[in-house]
Structure 1
Amino acid sequence: MSANLSEADQKELNSFLDAEQAKARVQSSVHAFTERCWDQCMTGSIGARFGRGEEACLSNCVERFLDTSLFIVKKLESQRDLV
């Protein structure tokens, strides 16, 4: 099927697929840190409100996850620039 596409159409399709894969990776990361932080921070039963310390734990966990992810991305970009 790609043999019937022009070069411009193939580039557009590849860009679209790259964007969709990036979205899928972001969603996968969000799912992973949500599950990890929830398991780590939610110690009591589920109620109308978070228990003592659970809200702060969730916030800190998510912030650390995002900080770590940003650090890794920057490190990979710097390594790519060296190549």
Structure 2
Amino acid sequence: MVHQHQDDYYLAIRQSTQQTDSALFIEFILQMIFDAIMEAKTSEIEGLNAGLKLSNVDKTILVFIKQDCYITNVQLAKIIH
């Protein structure tokens, strides 16, 4: 992500150096981290939904797996009936 915004990265460094205040650089890096997380989250959701036709049971199972990634098949079966 930083590589894609390399000019902005160097600008933030220069401005922080000129102002002897790292706030601009830190804000830039935090924004890059936030953007990367949002991009990854969006990609993950789109990937999960791409071409899938999930039943209500499937959706319920995914909810429980998201809540507890260590849930067992036996536990899921009891919950789902």
TM-score normalised according to structure 2 size: 0.43
TM-score by length of 1: 0.42
State the structure with more CA Rg: 2
Higher relative contact order (CA 8 A, sep 6+): 1
